[in-house]
Amino acid sequence: MDVMVDDLQVHVEIYGKGFPLLLLHGFTGDASTWTPFCSVWGGHSKLIIPDIVGHGKTQMSEDLERYTIESAAGDLNLLLEHLEINQIDVLGYSMGGDLH
């Protein structure tokens, strides 16, 4: 699904049921990085898997400030607000590990 977040179209995949788990890919990755884990982890968690700004199917921004860790983290927070998720576990690697 695509969600507008502060004038940026963000692509996010959602799988499973249970307490939400935000999965964040690394630099040059995308949501498909997590595909091998969805069938197992989706059995006990609602997986929220966005493409971070400039990656995968998420829109690129001409505003270079959008690519800072702080701005990307803010976009993720707005995405979670849009999805009405107030609490979440987070798992990320590489750049995705810096965003929480």
pLDDT in tens, 82-97: 999 999 999 999 878 7
pLDDT in tens, 25-57: 999 999 999 999 999 999 999 999 999 999 999
CA distance 27 to 33: 11
What is the DSSP code string of 42-97? TTTEEEEEEPPTTSTTSPP-S-GGGGSHHHHHHHHHHHHHHTT----EEEE-THHH
- Cβ atoms < 10 Å from Cβ of 24: 26
Q: What is the pTM of this model?
A: 0.92
In angstroms, how far is CA 11 from the centroid of its own chain? 8
In the chain, what are the domains? Answer: 2-98 (3.40.50.1820)
